[in-house]
Structure 1
Amino acid sequence: MALERTEHWIPAEGGIGLHAWVLRRTDLTRPAAAVTLAHGFGGLAEGGLMHYAELFAEAGFVSIIHDHRSFGGSGGWPRQDIDPWRQVLDWRRVITYLQDLPGVDPDRIGLFGSSYAGGHALVLAGSDPRIKAVVAQVPTISGYEQGKRRNPSPETTKRLQDRFNADERAQLRGAEPARQVLNSTDPDVTSVYKDPAMDAYEKRFPVPELARFDRKVTIRSTLKAQMYDPGVWIDRIAPTPLLMIIGDEDTITPSDIALAAYERAGEPKKLITYQGDHFGAYDDRFDQAGGGARDWFIQHLSPASDN
């Protein structure tokens, strides 16, 4: 079956456009259920989630996947600045846009968030009744827990706090927000992550937008991440059906935190665990994770597979 892929810019607050791709089967003849997807911290639509969007579209859904504000083709300044609550509100705008698209059944909208956006998915599913089914894959649950309490040492925590404070003072004087590398395994390079698996992920899913993305994000993005605890929304999601997908060796969004959050969720819910790290869901465990997510949406949204 053939897929149609069209490029969209969604008007968002501040006069910017959110860049998005819409994918759908060319043989659909009546309004179909739809799934909206979003990436994690520093992710891009053309990265590892595009094959999820394709998978859902092949199953009969209309898929829309967008770049977060200040990333990829989306507008917004300063570039590569990550504000979780701004991203949540932007995602609401994407949902509204999706509901108005020709060929979409506005009453059958599913939500798929991965990593940082997995946390956003919990917030939206717990607060927006337009969402009829949700998948939170390797989700952020507690920025405080994973970003501060599990920090390797008090000295590291203090150095990071000193950088937050210096950046805040500089901005008060009119400076641009300071930046740091997204990922580096070099102990002498200050970065958000120090995970060789992330380097492998980016080599596996190269995207054209990376030419415009120097792999640096604002330091204040890390500060905001430490203040973001989307897991508090998880017991507010029911009766919206919730699927969580968790890697049993995940250290980016730690497995034990995610499993504890899942226990707090109400029914209907389902858990898929795969053997591997945070990035396994995008790569060698894609069939398990993606197939499980597709089947969850089929079960709860009934795609237009009989068109």
Structure 2
Amino acid sequence: MPEKVYPPLVMPEGVDRHRTTVWNSTGIGLDADVYRPTTIAPDGQLPAVVLCHGWGGDKLTAERYAALFAAAGMITLSITQSSWAGSGSPLELVGDAPEADSGNEAVTRVRFIRELVDPDAWVLNLRSAVDYIEGEPNVDPARIGLWATSFGGGVAVHLAAHDDRIKALAVQVPAIAPLAGPTADHARRRAIGMARGDVSPVPQGVDTWPNMTGTPHMGTLAHYNPLAQVERLRIPTLIRDAGNEELFPTDRNGGRAAQILRSNGVEVDYEVMPGIDHYGIYFDGYDKGSKDALAWFERHL
């Protein structure tokens, strides 16, 4: 997303924040912050929430939400997705791959891939963040929730549909629908080209997205469809959309997800917030959106 300057975090009393690293299963370190109430009984077991930013964001996109939830007695973890801001990156070999010696070691040159929007990696990263919070002292592993925004909303939906540890979900202005039309056709061609070695399997600056920073990984976006995973969701889900959403149609994204959940008898709270656009959710829509999410987690975790 375009660079935005969010209102600064005013740390609530009784909340401590410390920086940490979440390691994903491919060995990439994710920059993250843990927020904890400063007063916890040694044997206290608190609910936890993992927070995920959207396209072009980082862990600070969610800092005000993470601190708010922590002030209410939750332990929270906000991550930066791989290749963004302070997190590590996937690597691409420069030149031919060298032969390994007898110890399976070799010396080569690599390129660090930055600001890549790879939904497969984002889901993997978010799962690792849940692994991390599950092991955090004083976290009740039976009371873990997910909060996510924008592109991260679809990522959170996808993970929650496949991870039984997630007991409640809150997403705002979520991008959930799959690619369609000429963009989907282009993505399929990219996926074919990657598989056949005609294009780099880890793209950098190959494709662009209107008004957005970074490189969309079209080869993986071709197969990414969190809306299809909504059928698997069985947990209480809160969705907040923007009434003046300008990036994608809400009726194919958050609105459609809410319809599917209701038809399956899943508890869902869906609301379109009037008078705000996509990025307005972080400004004029912040107070309501954050309090609604907090109340949802207090009720279901």
Distance apart, 1:122 and its partner CA: 1.2
1:106 corresponding residue in structure 2: 141
1:19 corresponding residue in structure 2: 31
1:248–1:105: structure 2 CA closer, same or farther, 3 Å change rule?
A: same
Output the CA distance in 1 between the equivalents of 2:251 and 2:26: 38
Matched to 2:149, the amino acid is: S
What is the alpha-carbon root mean square deviation over aligned residues? 2.7
Distance apart, 1:260 and its partner CA: 2.0
Output the CA distance in 1 between the equivalents of 2:55 and 2:189: 20
Q: Which moved more, 1:284-293 or 1:23-32?
A: 23-32
Query: Which runs of structure 1 show a deviation greater than 6 angstroms over 4 or more consecutive aligned residues?
Result: 160-163, 173-176
Distance apart, 1:16 and its partner CA: 1.8
Matches within 5 A, 1:255-266: 255-257=250-252, 258-265=254-261, 266=265
Distance apart, 1:33 and its partner CA: 0.5
Contact 2:114 2:204 in 1 (8 A): no
Distance apart, 1:164 and its partner CA: 5.0
TM-score w.r.t. length of structure 1: 0.76
Contact 1:141 1:253 in 2 (8 A): no
Output the CA distance in 1 between the equivalents of 2:293 and 2:48: 13
Matches within 5 A, 1:153-168: 164=190
**Equivalent position SS for 1:24:** strand
Contact 2:70 2:76 in 1 (8 A): yes
Report the number of matched residues: 260
2:85 corresponding residue in structure 1: 72
Distance apart, 1:225 and its partner CA: 3.2
Distance apart, 1:111 and its partner CA: 0.5
Output the CA distance in 2 between the equivalents of 1:174 and 1:267: 41
TM-score w.r.t. length of structure 2: 0.77
| Deviation by residue 1:160-198 (Cα, 9 ceiling, x = unmatched) | 679959x95997477973417xxxxxxxxx84133xxx8
Output the CA distance in 1 between the equivalents of 2:168 and 2:19: 25
The sequence identity of aligned pairs, in percent, is 31
Match of 2:227 among 214, 228, 231: 231
- Unaligned runs of 5+ residues in structure 2 are 1-12, 91-112
| Deviation by residue 1:257-300 (Cα, 9 ceiling, x = unmatched) | 12122101132111122112111211111111111000000001
Distance apart, 1:232 and its partner CA: 0.9
1:174–1:83: structure 2 CA closer, same or farther, 3 Å change rule?
A: closer
Higher RCO (C-alpha under 8 Å, 6+ residues apart):
1
**Equivalent position SS for 2:116:** coil
Matches within 5 A, 1:240-279: 240-257=235-252, 258-265=254-261, 266-275=265-274, 276-279=276-279
